[in-house]
Amino acid sequence: MHTHQKSSDPVATIGLDIGKNTFHLVGLDKRGSIAMRIKVSRNQLARRLANLSPCLVGLEAGSGSHHIARQIQALGHDVRLLPAQYVKPFLKGHKNDYRDAEAVQRPTMNFVAIKTPEQSDLLSLHRVRSRLVRQRTAVINQIRGLLIERGITVRQAPGPLRKVLPEVLSSPPEALSPRILRLIAELDQDWRRLDQRLEALSAEIASLSEDDCACQRLMSVPGIGPIISSAVVAAIGTGSGFKQGRDFAAWLGLVPKQESTGDRTKLGRISKRGNKYLRTLFVQAAHVVLERRPAAATRAPFSQAGEFRKFSAIGRMPVLVLANGEILIESATILDYLDEIAGPGCALIPATGEERRKSPRILASATAACDKAIAINYERRRPREMIFVDWIARCRAQLDAALSKLEALNLQLTDLCRLKQTEITSACMFGYIKRVEPDAVSGGRHPLLDRLSAVCEARREFKACPQ
């Protein structure tokens, strides 16, 4: 063990540079002066730190760092893991292990959460699975390459190739020599073995995710299943290391790369920093949710989107096609038809009289208020330099006018046991505006709407379908 002691004051902070067999430590006292510089072996590290009073220990996150951090934590020290890319800029002069250890003692830093043994096990499963996926892709591409060199092309994706291979191997074309056939057969066996290993690993990950509460919460998000949820838990645990969701997005590299100077804000493409594996999984999940599922939903009643547009030129407008071929377009028409089926005793809109004539005015004002709140919310989400302040002010004035109109219509609950469509729509509208534009409904300016929203939100039906 090599020791270089400079100050007699007790050590308050230690920077640790880890290696395979040797570790370099630099200790600072409370004044920031170097009080210790030592080199120890892996076996000596725990004994050396056990003789020190509890202090702050910082080390670079990397291979084996989480195991070392857990060992040092067990000795009573406060351990912090630092991302390697943030340690590098703090180095001074030429590189050596002592200067690496000194560089990790930064006063302000976003630290890496120390992984538990369970997280490390789960992360190991994902790393092995990721390697097997890459190997399977390489095998598939090699089979395609051998076939195309002999003039045999197969449609993209693994499925079509899997269907063609048995035919190729059982009735080989003349262009394929016996040697190439043997190679393709061996590669096919490799592919099948990789599939079996991947299925076993995926099943193990799915089983672990079923028993984890954090994974279950994540899987409630559309597009996220056992693989993504367990990968997130393995990487960040409970997510306590992030103050908000935007910090997590920045850590994943899903936010625009910023190169701002002075008063100019320049935003580029996504930064692609951080965990590439997680980012890839999230992008694939978004692709499924945003592209595949809407397309499948469109193909369900109609073979093509063009056929759907025969019924509605505006794709986003709801359409109900009845069994007799009759087409109902727009929510009000569909609700009126449902009222007709339900009968007068269960209809949401009165069949006749002043209340029926009053209902369209209330529904139109509530819908207009909701549209303006959505427009304001979308505008404020844009980059700061692209926000149109005059547009927000205009929408806000229209929103205030719509809310005042609703309040003047004396909307109120006449029967607490039975809700009407006007009450449902107005309550949903007001609850949404309270979340996205709270200033528009604060100060008790709309007491009738406020009371209506509170009464409806307390009902069992509203609690069962939160917005």
> Would 237 be classed as within a structural domain?
no
Residues 326 and 407 in one domain: no
For residues 208 and 280, membership in a common domain is answered with no
Q: Are residues 289 and 391 in the same domain?
A: no
Buried b (16+ CB within 10 A) or exposed e, 48-81: bbeebeebebbbbbeeebbebbeebeebebebbb
- Percent residues over pLDDT 70 in the chain: 85
Q: Which long-range contacts (CB under 8 A, 24 or more apart) does 393-396 make?
A: 396/372, 396/437, 396/440
Same domain, 33 and 99: yes
**Over 80: is that where the pLDDT of 124 sits?**
yes
DSSP state of 382: S
Are 58 and 131 in the same domain? no
Last residue of a domain, one of 347, 373, 404: 347
d(CA 306, CA 302): 9
**Length of the chain (residues):** 467
pLDDT of residue 13: 87
For position 371, which CATH number holds?
1.20.1050.10
Burial of 402 (0-12, 13-18, 19+ CB in 10 A): buried
Alpha carbon separation from 331 to 282, 318, 363, 422 (Å, rounded): 34, 6, 11, 13
Q: Do residues 439 and 364 both lie within one domain?
A: yes
Residue-level pLDDT at 298: 44
Tell me the per-residue pLDDT of 56-91, one tens digit each, with 9 for 90 and over. Answer: 888 888 888 888 889 898 988 988 888 777 766 555
Instruction: Specify the amino acid at residue 362.
Output: I
Q: Are residues 458 and 376 in the same domain?
A: yes
> Is the sign of the CA dihedral 122, 128, 131, 133 positive or negative?
negative
Assess whether pLDDT exceeds 90 at residue 199.
yes
Domain check: are 84 and 155 in the same one?
no
DSSP code at position 385: G
**How many separate domains does the chain show?**
5
Residues 7 and 66 in one domain: yes
Which residue shows structure tokens 């006749």?
A: 352
Question: Does the pLDDT at position 185 exceed 60?
Answer: yes
Domain match, 412 and 308 both: no
Show the tokens assigned to 49.
């730190």
pLDDT tens for each residue of 373-386: 988 888 888 777 77
Same domain, 183 and 263: no
H or E stretch at 320: strand 319-321
Quote the domain boundaries for residue 388: 350-464
Residues 211 and 122 in one domain: yes
User: Which tens digits make up the pLDDT trace of 414-448?
Assistant: 555 677 888 888 888 888 888 888 888 888 888 88
Say which residue, 292 or 402, is predicted with more confidence.
402
DSSP per position, 288-319? IIIIIHHHHHHHTTSSSHHHHHTT-SSTTS-E
Q: What is the pLDDT of residues 388-417, one digit of tens each?
A: 888 888 888 999 998 888 888 765 555 556
- Pick the last residue of a domain from 60, 76, 103: 103
> Any idea what the CATH number is for the domain that residue 38 is in?
3.30.420.140
Instruction: Report if residue 184 sits inside a domain.
Output: yes
Alpha helices in 271-416 (DSSP H): 276-287, 293-299, 305-309, 331-342, 353-380, 389-408
Q: Is 299's pLDDT higher than 50?
A: no
Compare 8 and 34 and report the one with higher pLDDT. Answer: 34
Residue 237 has pLDDT above 70, yes or no: yes
Mean pLDDT of 298-304: 46
Decide if 234 is inside a domain: no
Among the candidates 313, 347, 381, a domain finishes at 347
Q: Which residue has the higher pLDDT, 171 or 192?
A: 192
- The whole-chain average pLDDT of the chain stands at 81
Long-range own/partner contacts, residues 280-288 (CB < 8 A, 24 or more apart): 281/227, 281/228, 281/231, 282/228, 282/252, 282/254, 285/223, 285/224, 285/228, 286/223, 288/223
Q: Give the mean pLDDT of 339-356.
A: 80
CA 189 to chain centre: 36
User: Are 169 and 193 within 8 A, CB to CB?
Assistant: no
The pLDDT of residue 225 is above 60? yes
